[in-house]
Structure 1
Amino acid sequence: MTLIAVSAADLADRYPIEDGRVRPHKTLDGDGFRIRTLVMDAGAVLREHRAPVPILVQVASGRILFRVEGAEHDLAAGGAIQVDASVPHEVEAVDPSHVLLVLLGQP
C-alpha cells in the first residue's frame, strides 16, 4: 500500500506550481504501470508528443485543454481521458493545474 495523497490540496502541497513551467514528478512505479504528477502553471503547454504505452490522464486540480485526434477537451478537476499508445496529443493548462498521468504497461 502506498498513500499518494489524502486530497487534491495535499497533492498540490507536495508538488508546488512553478512560474511558467510544466514539471513532471515521479509519483509511483509499480508492476506494469507508472504514475507521474504533472504540475503546470496557467498558460504552460506540453507540446504535441506521443506516449509509448496507453495512458490515463486525470485532472486533480485546476483546468486543462487536452488536444487529441483533432478534438479539444476542456477538463476540470475530476475530468479524465484515456489515450492509446503512439497517439499524438497536447496539454495546455488554463489554470494552475495538477494532473495525474498513468502510463499503462512497459515501453
Structure 2
Amino acid sequence: MVEPVNLKEHIEYSTGSVVSRTLKENRAGTITLFAFDAGQGLSEHSAPFDAVVQVIDGEGRFIIGGEEHDLKSGQLIIMPANVPHAVRAKQKFKMLLTMLRA
C-alpha cells in the first residue's frame, strides 16, 4: 500500500456483523481494519503476540485480563501476548489492529 488511506472510509459497517479487512501481512505481523455493528463482538481468546488496537470511529469495550476498558475514537490500547481478551461494540465502531509477531 503506497497511497494514503482514510481508515474511516476504507471499511464499511454491515448490519449485524463484524467486517475485517487485512491491509498488510508479513512475518513481522499484520495490520487489520475492523468495523463492528452495535452489539457485535469477538469472543474471549488469546494470542501469542502483543497487539495494538486503535479506535478510529465510535466506541468499543475491550476486556483484557478480566478488566474492562471503554475506548473511543482517537484512543489506543495494547493487548499483551497470552492474556485473554474480548471486544464488544457498545455502538458501531471501527478499529485498527496491529499484531506484532516479534
- With the length of structure 1 as denominator, give the TM-score of the two structures: 0.85
The count of residues paired between Structure 1 and Structure 2 equals 102
Question: After superposition, where does 1:59-74 map in structure 2 within 5 Å?
Answer: 59-74=55-70
Is 1:76 aligned to residue 72 of structure 2?
A: yes
- Runs (5+) with no aligned partner, structure 1: none
| Contact 1:4/1:27 (<8 A) preserved | no
Q: Which runs of 5+ in 2 are unaligned?
A: none
Question: Which position in structure 1 is the counterpart of 2:43?
Answer: 47
Query: Which SS does the other structure have where 1:2 is aligned?
Result: coil
Query: Structure 1's 96 and 27: CA in aligned 2 closer, same or farther, altered over 3 A?
Result: same
1:101 aligns with 2:77: no
Q: Give, in whole Å, the separation in 2 of the partners of 1:20 and 1:49.
A: 21
1:2 aligned partner: 2
Determine if the alignment matches structure 1 residue 29 to structure 2 residue 51: no
Give the drift of 1:21: 0.7
CA distance in 2, matches of 1:87, 1:4: 33
Shift of 1:86: 1.5
Task: Please provide the CA RMSD for this pair.
Answer: 1.7
Deviates more, 1:27-36 or 1:89-98: 27-36
